[in-house]
Amino acid sequence: MIEHLDLEKLDRCDTAELAKLTRAVGEVGFLTVSNTGISASRVERVISAYHAFFRLPEAEKRRVDMAVTGSNRGWGASRSEQVDPAANPDFKEVFDCGYELAETNRYFGKNLSVYAPNQWPETVPEFRSIIETYYGDACSVAKRVLRAISVALGKDANSFDTAFDTPMALLRGNYYPQRPVSAGEKDFGIGAHTDYGCLTLLATDGRAGLEVQMPDQSWAQVQAQPGTFIINFGEMLEFWTAGAVKATLHRVIGGSAERLSVPLFFNPSYDTNVAPPHSENVIQAGEHLTRRFNETYVHLQAAS
């Protein structure tokens, strides 16, 4: 069962809501949340902006193609990412933007791909401002959920806060065209994978498509209308909490209708050690994320 949570109640440390959260993070690793302060119409505007981008002629999208610019920002064409090595590269298209470093930031000038400069299309009016504003607000919601998780796990509310001062947070628009008629059993909108980072805050256009692996190994559909968010957890948070938070497999096979989803991958600062508490090993968040990008982006697979 997928728990539905109320973020205002979590902010107030409502005991029953925190108990639901503890169950959700440890058992299924997926939940939905509402009452975030981000309205349905805001999400619809963000989704329309991404739609306008994905409908551009290919030559326009190519100007910000990450395979051409070499950055991991901008457009990723269909088949440019392979999240499951046993499947074919995904047939989704993506648009990625992320954290922009100020010149005074300790990571500035270090040429780290996780903090690459954003690439914006010039021909979609207001695209940049709509997406940048949403990016900031979505990061704030993700932080509030992490605070609640910290409390639910018996730690200080702000135990994660300093680790997120320069978040490797990536906002993605996923565009799933209609499943190609030639698609076979190794073709997916996005193949089965776990997310790489800490917390994923996912908005969708409301269409079905996302499937989540349940504790009994069956695949369950998870669906949410704009204004309700789906939340799941990545590999780093599973390491960092010694398994108290689950990174759950999920996938999108794709169907007869196109679909759009907008995940915010909320990840800590590059130097954060996300190894389990008291472990002798160090797992540097930035190295883990860079390794996962090198494994899954097709243009980086070739280079590394």
Ligand X SMILES: O=C(O)CCC(=O)C(=O)O
- One character per residue 241-280, x = contact with ligand X (rule: CB under 6 A): ---------x-x--------x-x-----------------
Cα angle 157, 105, 174 (rounded to 5 degrees) comes to 70
Number of residues interacting with ligand X: please give it, by CB under 6 A. 12
Closest CB to Fe ion belongs to which residue?
Answer: 195
210 binds, among ligand X, Fe ion, none (CB under 5 to 8 A by kind): ligand X
User: Among the candidate windows 15-23, 68-76, 135-143, 204-212, which touches ligand X by CB under 6 A?
Assistant: 204-212
Q: What phi and psi values does residue 51 have, to the nearest 5 degrees?
A: -55, -45
Binding residue (CB under 6 A) for ligand X from 36, 80, 118, 174: 174
Query: Judged by CB, which is closer to ligand X: 226, or 263?
Result: 263
User: Among the candidate windows 45-53, 111-119, 201-209, 236-244, which touches ligand X by CB under 6 A?
Assistant: 201-209
Q: Among candidates 163, 174, 296, 167, which has minimal Cα distance to 230?
A: 174
Instruction: Say which residues have a Cβ less than 8 Å from residue 57's Cβ, sequence separation at least 6.
Output: none
20 binds, among Fe ion, ligand X, none (CB under 5 to 8 A by kind): none
Which CA distances in Å does 99 have to 16, 117, 171, 173, 279? 35, 8, 9, 15, 29
By CB under 6 A, the residues from 209 to 248 that bind ligand X are 209-210
Query: Judged by CB, which is closer to ligand X: 113, or 261?
Result: 261
Minimum CB separation from Fe ion for residue 252, in Å?
9
Which CA distances in Å does 182 have to 185, 187, 188, 219? 10, 9, 12, 24
Binding residue (CB under 6 A) for ligand X from 190, 245, 274, 289: 190
Query: Judged by CB, which is closer to ligand X: 10, or 210?
Result: 210
For position 195 contacting Fe ion by CB under 5 A, the verdict is yes
Which CA distances in Å does 164 have to 207, 217, 242? 32, 33, 19
Measured N-to-C along each axis, helices 127-152 and 15-26 cross at an angle, to the nearest 10 degrees, of: 100
Number of residues interacting with Fe ion: please give it, by CB under 5 A. 1
Neighbour-count burial of 217, counting CB atoms closer than 10 A to its CB (0-12 exposed, 13-18 middle, 19+ buried): exposed
Point out which residues bind Fe ion (CB under 5 A): 195
Contacts to ligand X by CB under 6 A = 172, 174, 190, 195, 202, 204, 209-210, 250, 252, 261, 263
